[in-house]
Amino acid sequence: MSPSLPKAWQCVLICWGTKYGATDVNRLVKRVSDQNSSVARFVLISDRQHEGLDPRVEHATLPEVYLKPEFMTGESQTKLGMFKTRVLKPDMPAIYIDLDTLILGPIEQAFHFRKNDRSIVMFQSAILSFSGLARMIYRLTKGKRYARGNSSFIVFHPKHCSMISDEFLKT
């Protein structure tokens, strides 16, 4: 049985560099709050303070270790900073959303995809599942890997996920 919809959850956003600003954050905060009844907190994890943010948005500092230039190339490594212990408060589950995500309805329903409170939900982004065709494409592209999970939308509970950051930083 999957966990029920939490009474309260936190919406997590991440912003580094100068591509997105307070206007982008505020637009997403408004859409999420308009479409979801149990979102209790908005957290922006960032490399700097942002002027003009919606007052409902709490700031959390992106851990220094994730600000290495090789992590900030547009890939997902910098996003792993949200899993580092004490970046997010562990008192409620979370949904992470990329700042360029379009919200068309209640996203909190995604909590029903969890098997339990320790589950992490990511949606498949690869068009091809692991198969003979996928292996052939892998060989033809000389080993270039394609994404297996879409890191634009992640459902998780911070108190159960610090091992993701810990394991990544070991490598």
Could you give the domains of the chain? 9-170 (3.90.550.10)
pLDDT category at 146 given cuts 50, 70, 90 is low
What pTM was estimated for this model as a whole? Answer: 0.84
Please tell me what DSSP assigns to residue 115.
S
Residue 133 has pLDDT above 90, yes or no: no
Those residues with Cβ within 8 angstroms of residue 81's Cβ, 6 or more apart along the chain or in another chain: 14, 45, 62, 63, 65, 66, 87, 165
Dig out the tokens for 53 from the structure. 């943010």
Q: Assign 3-class secondary structure to 11-66.
A: EEEEECCCCCCHHHHHHHHHHHHHHCCCEEEEEEEECCCCCCCCCCEEEEECCHHH
Q: What is the mean pLDDT of residues 21-28?
A: 97
pLDDT category at 21 given cuts 50, 70, 90 is very high
**Cα–Cα distances in Å, from 119 out to 10, 19, 42, 93, 166?**
16, 31, 21, 10, 17
- HSE on the CB side for 127, CA within 13 Å? 2
In the prediction, which pLDDT does 108 show? 96
